[in-house]
């Protein structure tokens, strides 16, 4: 079992460029999440999905879009990257139960110059 896999692991963008981060999970989880983590900070939720074809905004959604066309994949898009989006991005997934234990990927380090 791979668990939660994120691609790419590293990326450098110029301001205004676009990119898509891919998250794939093989645990048949209903819920999926995208977080960002800035230096010395905890994780903050960007967007989440409670099932295929559904998405919702989290705490810091501005500048990002997401799609969940397949249950196992959750894509995070940056349409026009800004230096403020330099961060480490983590994807997570969980079962749809009350306890909601989340399983995280290894992260994508993104630098926007």
**Quick one: 17 or 95, whose CB is closer to another protein?**
95
Q: Contacting another protein (CB under 8 A), which of 87, 90, 93, 110?
A: 90
- 45 - beta bridge partners? 35
CA atoms of 106 and 113, how far apart (whole Å)? 23
CA-based nearest residue to 97, from 50, 27, 33: 50
Q: Contacting another protein (CB under 8 A), which of 48, 78, 81, 87?
A: 48
The two counts, helices (H) then strands (E), for the chain are 0, 11
For residue 42, count CB atoms less than 10 angstroms from its CB and return exposed for 0-12, middle for 13-18, buried for 19 or more.
Answer: exposed
Task: Tell me which stretch binds another protein (CB under 8 A): 19-27, 68-76, 78-86, 91-99.
Answer: 91-99
Q: Contacting another protein (CB under 8 A), which of 1, 28, 42, 62?
A: 42
Q: Which residues bind another protein (CB under 8 A)?
A: 4, 31, 33, 35, 40-45, 48, 50, 58-59, 90, 92, 98-107
């Amino acid at each position: 079992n791979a668990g939660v896999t994120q691609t790419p692991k590293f990326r450098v963008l110029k301001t205004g460029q676009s990119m898509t981060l891919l998250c794939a999970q093989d645990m048949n989880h209903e819920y999926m999440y995208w977080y960002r983590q800035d230096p010395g900070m905890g994780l903050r939720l960007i967007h989440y999905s409670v099932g295929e074809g559904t998405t919702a905004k989290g705490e810091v959604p501005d500048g990002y879009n997401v799609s969940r066309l397949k249950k196992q994949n959750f894509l995070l898009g940056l349409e026009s990257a800004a230096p403020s989006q330099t961060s480490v991005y983590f994807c997570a997934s969980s079962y749809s139960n009350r306890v909601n234990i989340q399983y995280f990927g290894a992260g994508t380090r993104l630098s926007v110059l």
